[in-house]
Each structure stands twice: as C-alpha cells, then as structure tokens.
Structure 1
C-alpha cells in the first residue's frame, strides 16, 4: 500500500510540471498566432490567415452557418476582407484553459477595424486549439458581436 501511494505521488509530481509546460507552450503559440492573424488583413494576404487554422477546422461566425474544412479559412478571409471590409483587428486573450491531451481553449475579446483604422465591430470569442504536426492551430473558432443587429 505504501509503495502504491509513493508511486502515485511520484506520478502526480512529474505529470503536473509536464501539463504546465504544455499549457505554457500552447499559450506562447497562441500569442504568436494572434500577433500575425490580423496582419493578413492589413496586408491583404490570405496565406498568413490560412495558416492559423487546422485542416479540419470549423469557423462559427455569427449570422450564418459554420464553414468547415481545409477551405474554410480562405472562404472566411474572402468574406471578411472583401464583403465586410476588415483590414485590421485586435485579440485580447482573457484566459486559456487546458482541456485535454492536445487541446486548449482560449477565451477573449476581439475588435475589428476598417481601412480607415476605425473600429466597426467588437465582441467575444472561444477558440478550441488543437496541437497538430504543424503546431497549435485553431480547431473550432466561435465568436459573436457585442453590437445589436437590426
């Protein structure tokens, strides 16, 4: 019994630092991804944007159906850039939670700016990030506006 307790304590003390390390790694990757996300719109370069998402992603924007799969990021970029006029933005991460092996959830706020650098929308988001062979990628991206739609 004593040996089992000691083994369990040893497991818990080695597992916790690794879990913390993985969460810190995810936080760093998410911050780096968020830093370049809106640069894609400022430069009109969808290739920067597409690289933020996993190939099996779902983008769940307000006022429409989800768009899914490898072509979803390009589809969303085109709508945001050409139809909505998004040219820059800002993410404010308020929390990151470890939810399981290879997944974390990011919670936060966002702001969208047009070509005149005028904020035209803002809201909140939840992103489920997935660790892939290419690094941490957005797997499920859900967001909504704080503005009332008429």
Structure 2
C-alpha cells in the first residue's frame, strides 16, 4: 500500500511538473496574442495598412459570406474599406505547441466608435511564430447573427 502511494505521488509530481514546463510556451504565446488582439481594431481603423503588421506575409483571411482574401495588397484593400468599429476579443481556447503554431478560438464583440453594439461572433486564428513575433497566419470569423 505504501509503495502504491509513493508511486501515485511520484506520478502526480511528474505530471504536474511536466504540465507546467510544457505550458510555459503556450502562456507566453497567449500573452503576445492578447496584446496583439487588444490593438487590432485600432490599427484597422487607421486605414494606413498598419493592420498588416499583425499578419504573416502569406496570410489568408476568411471573412463570412465572401471569398478568401490572400496577399498583402488584398488584405490592405479589405481593411481599407471596412467600417470604423472597435472589437474586443475574448480567448476561449488556445492550443498548440506554443513555439511554432497555436490556434486561438475566441469570441468577439464589435461596437461602433460610440460604444453601441454592432455585432458579436466567433473567431478562429492560426498564429505562426515568426522572427518578428506571433503573427496571424489564417484568420476566420463569423457573426452569431444571420446575414443581413
């Protein structure tokens, strides 16, 4: 009985220790992604193309009810014509190795610049670690409401 207790305790310590060490890269990725998400709509609202700094060079955006948007010029045009809104992202799940790629599942809430709710929905982003930090590689989002 005593040996079983020791083995169980050692197994618990091993799992906890390994879980914490494996979790650190994911925690660091989450912190970087939360920071990027916090300034996302501000960059989009500038209409100066600075939003592209959040994306990889070969990024693809998958907007609802539209064809995929590929390439820096097409991404710039997509954001240039967009509405002036603020988006708040709430990460629900983040998984991956935390070193090369992670997947973000989030909810978003979109408000106009006066704070009136315009939309809410969900987002899936595949983030890629680059020499310049975490960048959005694939970005898909859709409203929780029927298309208008």
Q: 2:126–2:137: 8 Å Cα contact kept in structure 1?
A: yes
Q: 1:59–1:72: 8 Å Cα contact kept in structure 2?
A: no
**SS of residue matched to 1:148:** coil
Change (3 A) 1:86 1:101: same
Cα deviation 1:1-32 (Å, max 9, x = unaligned) = xxxxxxxxxxx999866542221121111011
Change (3 A) 1:139 1:41: closer
Change (3 A) 1:136 1:88: same
Alignment of 1:56-95 (within 5 A): 56-80=58-82, 85-95=83-93
Alignment of 1:8-19 (within 5 A): 19=22
Q: How far apart are residue 79 of structure 1 and its match?
A: 2.7
TM-score, reference length from structure 2: 0.78
Larger radius of gyration: 2
Alignment of 1:1-150 (within 5 A): 19-47=22-50, 49-80=51-82, 85-98=83-96, 102-150=100-148
2: distance between equivalents of 1:18 and 1:131?
Answer: 19
Provide the aligned C-alpha RMSD in A: 2.5
Change (3 A) 1:92 1:142: same
Q: 2:25–2:98: 8 Å Cα contact kept in structure 1?
A: no
Q: 1:57–1:72: 8 Å Cα contact kept in structure 2?
A: no
Q: 2:29–2:134: 8 Å Cα contact kept in structure 1?
A: yes
TM-score, reference length from structure 1: 0.77
